Amino acid sequence: MSHFHERSEKICLNCGAALYGRYCHVCGQENVEPRESTGHLFRHFFEDLTHFDGKFFSTLKLLITKPGFLSAEYIKGRRASYLNPIRMYLFISFIFFFALFAFPGSNTHVVKQPVAKDKLNKINYSVNMGDESPVKIITDTINTYAKSKNTVETLAEYKAQQDSLPPSKRDGAIEHFFAVKAFSLSDALASGDKEYLHRAKEKFFHLLPQMFYVILPFFAFFLYLLYIRRRKEYNYVAHAIFTVHFYCFVFIAWLAMRLVGLIPFAGRLLELAILIYIWIYLFRAMRNFYKQGGGKTFLKFILLDISTTILLAVLSVIYIATAMTSAI
């Protein structure tokens, strides 16, 4: 129930139906005074956004302390007592990515090393994005491709070479496209352009929300495959709700990791403890939600981790390459 004053008139302002209580039985609108103060407006906004009447915090507490419980309640139809999982996901992810972009931390700086003489074969620049292995994969791929074009070393030389060839011997549209991208990246990386590396890093971090949204349906699909023999009991939507709740917990855990990381000395150990607990949480959530034995759940937990790690590695390469390309 809201904090607004109830109208004495028993006619719904929205649909005109006769009222027999505080809420209209036809359209559901609350029969309150339409005139609002500025304070009421802001209070209404926060109530609509997070159900600030206590539902948000009670749901959050259950999410953290009872892995898999909220998902089980949802598929049983017990939903009115808890915050809607989609609304909770949107709110928590907004807070997480706002904190990520507003306070990127000290581990997102550009690392610069001396420029190698052979620009194509020894690219010595990388963007520290938390894990440099995707960047290494991309630069190694660029180097390998560049070696296959051993008659040229730069984008300008490649274009000049292509212009000098008869049309029938030039690279096709697809090969030309990738060659231009490869040489452009090679030139940018080998030039030691610190601003370019900074732009690439910023592009990648702003693509992170999109990458997480892409992973979510795949994560749910992996669960669907792992529990396909129980598809009558757990359809794809049930797996998706489970995934949304797990994502919400992961965002909260990562925010906690960033906070404890500020603690001197013990910060790193606390970060590691939270990271380990994320995997423990997932295992417990799977066991509680799908109600299978520990052995079966652990096997499916490992298969889910492997599948997700492979997908994350592939998407990281794609998105880092996209960031590096768009930053040129």
HEC string of 156-202? HHHHHHHHHCCHHHCCCHHHHHHHHHHHHHHHHHHCCCHHHHHHHHH
Q: Does residue 23 contact residue 31 with C-beta atoms inside 8 Å?
A: yes
Q: Is residue 173 part of a domain?
A: yes
Structure confidence at residue 319 (pLDDT): 78
**pLDDT digit string (tens) for 112-167?**
444 444 444 434 444 444 444 555 555 555 555 555 555 666 667 777 777 777 87
Q: Does the predicted TM-score (pTM) go above 0.85?
A: no
Is pLDDT larger for residue 43 or for residue 217?
Answer: 217
> Quick check: is 122 in a domain?
yes
* Total of domains in the chain: 1
Residue 22 in contact with residue 31, Cβ under 8 Å? yes
pLDDT of residue 122: 39
State how far the Cα of 236 lies from the Cα of 225, in Å rounded to an integer. 10
Considering the domain boundaries, does residue 263 fall inside one?
no
Domain housing 141: 113-191
Assigned domain for 311 exists: no
Residue 33 in domain? no
- Whether residue 44 is contained in a domain is answered as no
Domain membership of residue 84 (yes or no) is no
pLDDT greater at residue 58 or residue 164: 58
At residue 120, the pLDDT reads: 40
Q: What is the pLDDT of residues 263-319, one digit of tens each?
A: 888 888 898 999 999 999 999 999 999 999 999 999 999 999 999 999 988 888 787
Q: Is 300 exposed, middle or buried (0-12, 13-18, 19+ CB in 10 A)?
A: buried
Express each pLDDT in 192-216 by its tens digit: 556 766 677 777 777 777 888 889 9
In a domain, 127, yes or no: yes
